[in-house]
Amino acid sequence: MKRALALLAVFGVLAFGQFPAFTGKWDATVCVLPSTSLTSTLTLTTQIAGFDLSGAFRFTGGGLDRVSFTASGALGPFSLKSGMYFNPAVTEYMGSYLNTSLDFAGLGIGLDVYHWDTDYNSCFFAGTCWPFLKWLGGDNPCTPSGIFGMAYALSAKVDPLAVKVIFADCCEGIEFYKAILTLKGLGLCCGISLDAELSFLKEKGFDQLVLSGIEIPLCCGVSLTAKVTFTVDAKTVETGLKFAGIGDACFTVYGDAIQTGNAWTGIDIYGWKIKCTLGDCNYVEFLTALNPGAIEDILGDIFYDACGEFEYVKLGFCGPGCCGGQYTVTLSVYFGTNGGIFDITRLVYSVKIPVMTNFTLNISGTAAAASCATNSFCFGWTFTF
């Protein structure tokens, strides 16, 4: 009997030694205003046969409400990455993806497959709910709810040209959805180059043209930068000055051309943004919207309609924190027609402070400066192990 127990102990120790090691992260957020809530996410990661395997489990006041499993690694010459998401609160499958790529002799090819329940479109394409993703750059090919969507993205790349073709199946069979052509580092003259991206949709034809990466040296380490985006409904022009070793300033104008027949008769300006950056994370940003609705069509949901907001000033700065970390602070002041003193409607803040090497304190909230806004306050932490 003693020999049997000894053998069992030896085999147990050996088995435990072969058990894969886990690393993890614990994120928690406690909100006390405008109502009390608790959200906690535990992520565990291990490595088996060269693949990194992760499981994430989110808990709220009602218990376990979100689960995800992801895997990444190499299989022969192929790089693979996949994930699957569930909503255990109602016992529902949310979605999954598989990304594959292969690089050989300067040629890169890839195949990405996405499958999802369209009731969770905002979670996978808008990034507004867990797991906060933007598949296909946020371009959703299957918008009707109550169905399962599927998308296939085929890509090929030979510098400086890249091509991506997207097919979609919205329960009506596979059909072409979109094509994207990208050129990187296209030389113009005098050492000036640009990046270009042109995309087409099956139903609408032309989607957008983006010209970016333009940097024109002026003198004394100062360069002029520019980016132009053409869409069917709007045009965006971004210009700025880049100061070598100091920072840069960017001026963006949002608007569209006014046309009468085939004649260009004017420009409709929706608003503008000015951002000055010093270093990696110190900046000041001003956004003024002459047409807040049109600005939100371009930039997303920014303003409180009830407050008649049309402008904000945002400050961001950082500095060295504990144990080699870095604290970050963001403060935004919003202005609106229904605001209080100086038309201020609310102040939004976010603070991240490293307390230990593996522990970061997070604080965020809103201070209402007018009756149309709502106070909020949340605190939490990120703990890695």
pLDDT band at 20 (very low <50, low <70, confident <90, very high): low
Residue 14 pLDDT? 36
329-334 average pLDDT score? 97
59-65 average pLDDT score? 91
Task: Tell me what percent of the residues of the chain surpass a pLDDT of 70.
Answer: 92
Residue 354 pLDDT? 94
Residue 15 pLDDT? 38
Residue 231 pLDDT? 84
d(CA 197, CA 212): 9
d(CA 38, CA 364): 14
The candidate with the shortest Cα–Cα distance to 270, out of 248, 247, 305, 295, is 295
* Residue that wins the pLDDT comparison between 255 and 98: 98
Q: Is the pLDDT of residue 8 over 50?
A: no
193: tokens are: 């180059």
233-237 average pLDDT score? 77
72: tokens are: 């990444």
CA 178 to chain centre: 21
Q: Is the pLDDT of residue 13 over 70?
A: no
Q: Is the pLDDT of residue 148 over 70?
A: yes
pTM over 0.85: no
pLDDT tens digit sequence for 169-206: 998 899 999 999 999 887 777 667 788 999 989 877 88
Residue 48 pLDDT? 92
Residue 268 pLDDT? 84
pLDDT band at 1 (very low <50, low <70, confident <90, very high): very low
Secondary structure class of 318 (helix, strand, coil): strand
Q: Is the pLDDT of residue 54 over 80?
A: yes
d(CA 115, CA 49): 26
pLDDT band at 236 (very low <50, low <70, confident <90, very high): confident
Phi-psi group of 5: left, alpha or beta (phi > 0 → left; psi -120 to 50 → alpha; rest → beta): alpha
125-153 average pLDDT score? 92
d(CA 186, CA 66): 44
CA 192 to chain centre: 30
Residue 16 pLDDT? 41
d(CA 362, CA 354): 9
Task: Tell me what percent of the residues of the chain surpass a pLDDT of 90.
Answer: 60
d(CA 40, CA 29): 6
Minimum mean pLDDT range among 96-100, 154-158, 248-252, 319-323: 248-252
140-144 average pLDDT score? 90
pLDDT tens digit sequence for 254-310: 887 777 776 777 788 899 999 888 877 899 999 999 999 989 988 888 999 999 999
149: tokens are: 């969507």
Residue 5 pLDDT? 36
d(CA 229, CA 276): 21
* Residue that wins the pLDDT comparison between 243 and 120: 120
* Residue that wins the pLDDT comparison between 241 and 272: 272
| Mean pLDDT, rounded, of the chain | 87
